[in-house]
Homo-oligomer: A and B are copies of this chain.
Amino acid sequence: MKSLPQDRFVDVPVRVRYAETDRMGIAYHANYFVWFEMGRTEVCRAAGVVYKELEESGYLLMVADLGARYLAPALYDDELLIRTRIGEMGSRTIRFEYELRRGTTLVATGFTRHLYCSNATRRSVRAPEEIRKRFELFAGFEAAARF
């Protein structure tokens, strides 16, 4: 598994919904992972991997583990920016990393690590070559490998 030297974030704006707040008056912590999913979907799309199509071709990216740190509360109606990049890629795994920002304030950071799985068997498989290449190209891995 190689850590990628790139810093290629895809930015997705999101406005905090009333439904996403809790009685503390702030966005409920679990909802951040829904926003992270939005960012992940757009990183995939930017890399030429429409996640819906990846599933239709028989693969799933199942969440293996995740984590987050909460640095500042996100409030109702806040306009946030979800910044997402590919963190690491293995033969069977991919890790996405997230920053959530409101203006210059870092609201949260997080990651999710996924296993490539067969939709049919629900078991871990090697990443399809074509998919892996697209992610690597997008993440700048090949360029970095030249040096």
Contacts and interface: CB of A to CB of B under 8 A. Distances in A.
Taking the full assembly, how many copies of this chain does it contain? Answer: 4
A105 to B, nearest CB: 14
> Which secondary structure dominates where chain A touches chain B?
mixed
Interface stretch (A29-37, A85-93, A94-102, A132-140): A29-37
A69 B62 contact: no
A22 interface: yes
Interface of A: 15, 17-19, 21-26, 28-31, 33-34, 37-38, 41, 50-52, 55, 60, 62-70, 73, 76-77, 112, 122
A23 B29 contact: no
Given A18-B51, A23-B26, 10 more contacts: A19-B30, A19-B37, A22-B23, A30-B30, A30-B31, A41-B77, A50-B77, A64-B69, A65-B68, A66-B67
